[in-house]
Amino acid sequence: MTINLTKILITEKTRFLSLLLICLAVFFNSCSDDAVSPPYISKSPPASSYDGTYAMEWNALLYRVIANESRLNPPKASRVYAYTCITIYESVVNGMNINRSLAGQLNQMPEMPRPDINLEYDWPSVITGSAPVVIRGLLNTDYNTSLNMINNLYNRQVTEKKAVKDTNVINRSLSYGVSIANKILQWANTDRYLETRGLPYTPPPRSLNPANWEPINPGDTAEEPYWGTLRPFAVPTSAICEIPPSYFFDTTVTSPFYRDELEIKIIKDNLTAQQEEIALYWRDKQLTGTPPGHWVYIMCQMVTKLNLKLDKAVEMFALGGIALGDAFITAWYVKYKYNYLRPQSYIRDYIDPGFLPLIPTPPFPDYPSGHSTGSGACAYILTQLLGQVSFTDTTHIRLGMTGRYFNSFNEAASECSVSRIYGGIHYRNACENGVLIGRKIGETIMQRIHLKIF
C-alpha cells in the first residue's frame, strides 16, 4: 500500500487552519462589546486569489476625477482619498481570514455590515459596488465628465464579472458594497467637515506680530483655517504628532530663520534647470489629483509594478490613505497654531522688496509644509509594507512630464519636500520638519492600527 505523505500533510494543514479560525471566532465572540469583530469564515474564494486591479482602477479613477474637476484643495482631497481607501479595504476584509476590520480601530468608526456566512461573494465586485457610491457621496459631484467616468468604470467591471461568474453572486456583492459605502458616508458626516464649511476667519494682522501669516495674492483668503479641528482617522488628536519649529521668527542676519529665507532668494536667483523641473513636477496643482493624490497614484503604480494581489493592495491603500488623511489634518493644525508668514512676505520685507517665487504662494501659513508632511507619512507607511522599492514615478506623464526615478519611497518624499524650497514657497525648516512630522504620523498609525488578528 502506497501512502501519499504530501496529500496527508496538506489535509492536516487544512484541518488545522479551519480549527484555528473556528477557535478565533469563538474567542472574539466571547470578548466584550468593545472587542474587534470575529473573523468571517468565508465560503467565497479568498481576496488573495484575485489581483489588485479593481482596487487600483478605482483609486486611479478618483485621481483623474479630482484632476479634471480641479476644485479641491489638498486637505479636501486628502479626506476624499482617505475615506475611499478605507471603503475599499472594508469591501474586501471579509475575504481575508486573518484580517480585521478598521471599525473599532479608527476614531469613532462604527461596525461595518457583515456578509451572509452562507452565501458566496466576489470581493472585487464588492469594491465595484462600494467605490462609486462613496466617491459620489464625498465629492457631491454634478460634473458630467466625472459622472460619466464613474459610470463607465462601474459598467465595464460589472460586465466583465458577469461574463465569468454567476449573476446572483455579482449582484449580491454589488449590493453588499453599497451597504458598506453608505455606512462609511454616515461616519464621514460626523468628522466636523460639514460644521467647518463657511466658518468666518480673520487672520491676525502682522501689526500685532511681524511673524504672522498674511494673504499675498489678490483675492487670497485663508484656506481651511479649521481643518486641524477635524476628527483624525488613526492618530488620537491633531496635536499628538506635532513638532515645533526648530527655530523661531528672527530678522537678525546671523539667525537660522534669516539664513533659511535668504537661501530661498539665492536659489531663485541661481535656479538650475533640474531644480525648476523638480519644483514643477511636485507642484501638483492644476490638472492634477493634488499633492495627496500624487501619493495615491504612486500606490496605484505599485499594484502593477509589484503585481500585488487584492488583499495586499487594499492593505496598502488603507494605511496609505489613512496616513494622508491624518497628515493634512495634523499639518493644518500646526500651520494655524504657529501661523508663520510665507517666504515671499519675509524676503520682500527684510531682504529683497522685488522678490517673486517660482511658484505662486498658496493662501495658508508656512510651517509645516503640507507636501512634506503627507510625503513623509505615506513614504513611511509604504516602506513598512513594501520595503525598499525603486521605481519610476509616471504620475505626470499624461501632462507631458517625464517620469522621475527614485531608489526608495523616502527618496521620493525628500525630493517632494525640497521641491517646495526650489519653488520659493516654504523655508527649509518647514520642509524638513514636515517630513519628520509625517514620519511620526506613520509610526503612530503602525502602532495603533493592526490589520491582522494575530
Query: What tens digit of pLDDT does each residue of 165-222 get?
Result: 999 999 999 999 999 999 999 999 999 999 999 999 999 999 999 999 999 999 999 9
CB 407 within 8 A of CB 383: no
Specify the pLDDT at position 42.
65
Is residue 167 located within the same domain as residue 271?
A: no
In a domain, 396, yes or no: yes
pLDDT of residue 5: 34
Question: Is 332 domain-assigned?
Answer: yes
120 and 239 in a common domain:
no
Which of 168, 188, 208 corresponds to the end of one domain? Answer: 188
| SS3 per residue for the chain | CCCCHHHHHHHHHHHHHHHHHHHHHHHHHHCCCCCCCCCCCCCCCCHHHCECHHHHHHHHHHHHHHHHHCCCCHHHHHHHHHHHHHHHHHHHHHHCCCECCCCCCCCCCCCCCCCCCCCCCCHHHHHHHHHHHHHHHHHCCCCHHHHHHHHHHHHHHHHHHHCCCCHHHHHHHHHHHHHHHHHHHHHHCCCCCHHHCCCCCCCCCCCCCCCECCCCCCCCCCCCCCHHHCCCCCCCCCCCCCCCCCCCCCCCCCCHHHHHHHHHHHHHHCCCHHHHHHHHHCCCCCCCCHHHHHHHHHHHHHHHHCCCEHHHHHHHHHHHHHHHHHHHHHHHHHHHHHCECCHHHHHHHHCCCCCCCCCCCCCCCCCCCHHHHHHHHHHHHHHHHHCCCCEEECCCHHHCCCCEEECCHHHHHHHHHHHHHHCCCCCHHHHHHHHHHHHHHHHHHHHHCCCECC
Q: Are 98 and 247 within one domain?
A: no
Q: Indicate whether 415 pLDDT > 70.
A: yes
Give the residue carrying C-alpha cell 466584550.
32
Domain shared by 83 and 151, yes or no = yes
Q: Cα(145)–Cα(152) distance, rounded to whole angstroms?
A: 10
Instruction: Tell me the pLDDT band of 160, cut-offs 50, 70 and 90.
Output: very high
Question: Looking at the structure, do residues 444 and 311 belong to the same domain, yes or no?
Answer: yes
Q: What is the mean pLDDT of the chain?
A: 92
Q: What percent of the chain has pLDDT over 90?
A: 87
CA distances from 220 to 234, 291, 307, 364 (A): 32, 20, 44, 9
The Cα–Cα gap between 261 and 40 comes to 56
The domain spanning residue 99 has which CATH number? Answer: 1.20.144.10
Calculate what percentage of the chain has a pLDDT beyond 70: 90
* Residue 20 is assigned to a structural domain of this protein: no
Query: Does some domain include residue 343?
Result: yes
Residue 40 is predicted with a pLDDT of 56
Same domain? For 331 and 420 the reply is: yes
Same domain, 320 and 440: yes
For the segment 221-264, what is each residue's pLDDT rounded down to a tens digit? 999 999 999 999 999 999 999 999 999 999 999 999 999 999 99
The answer on 364 and 261 residing in a single domain is yes
Domain that holds residue 136: 44-188
Spatial neighbors of 202 by CB under 8 A, at least 6 apart, are none
User: Each residue of 270-306: pLDDT tens digit?
Assistant: 999 999 999 999 999 989 999 999 999 999 999 999 9
Q: What is the pLDDT of residue 41?
A: 56
Would 28 be classed as within a structural domain? no
**pLDDT computed for residue 43 by the predictor:** 82
Give residue 454's pLDDT. 82
Q: Greater confidence, 363 or 97? A: 363
Torsion of CA 440, 446, 448, 450, to 10 degrees: 170
User: Contact 231/190 with Cβ under 8 angstroms?
Assistant: yes
pLDDT at 22: 42
CA angle in degrees (0–180, nearest 5) for 23-28-29: 95
The answer to whether residues 123 and 52 touch, using CB atoms and an 8 Å cutoff, is: no
Residue 27 has pLDDT above 50, yes or no: no
Confidence category of residue 143, pLDDT binned at 50, 70, 90: confident
Angle at 12 between CA 10 and CA 14, to 5 degrees: 70
Distance CA 158, CA 128 (A): 7
Q: Which of 145, 173, 188 is the last residue of a domain?
A: 188
pTM as predicted: 0.92
- 110 found inside a domain: yes
How much is the average pLDDT of 448-452? 97
pLDDT at 31 over 80: no
What's the CA gap between 153 and 158, in Å, rounded?
9
- Going from the C-alpha of 124 to that of each of 37, 166, 349, the distances in angstroms are 22, 14, 57
What is the rounded average pLDDT of the residues 296-324?
98
- Domains in the chain, number: 2
- In this predicted model, what pLDDT tens digit does every residue of 80-93 receive, in sequence order? 999 999 999 999 99
Q: What is the pLDDT of residue 122?
A: 98
Least confident range of 114-118, 367-371, 445-449 = 114-118
- Answer yes or no: are the C-beta atoms of 104 and 36 closer than 8 Å: yes
Dist. CA 178–CA 174, nearest whole Å: 6
Is residue 119 assigned to a domain? yes
pLDDT(433) > 60: yes
Q: Are residues 444 and 321 in the same domain?
A: yes
Say whether both 66 and 159 belong to one domain: yes
Identify the band that residue 18 occupies on the pLDDT scale cut at 50, 70 and 90. Answer: very low
Q: Which of 188, 209, 239 is the last residue of a domain?
A: 188
Say which CATH number the domain at 269 has: 1.10.606.20
Q: Which burial class, exposed, middle or buried, applies to 160 when counting CB atoms under 10 A from its CB (0-12, 13-18, 19+)? A: middle
| 126 and 250 inside one domain | no
Asked whether residue 72 is assigned to any structural domain, the reply reads yes
Q: What is the pLDDT of residue 3?
A: 36
* CA–CA distance, 378 with 410 (Å, rounded to integer): 9
- Residues 317, 399 within the same domain: yes
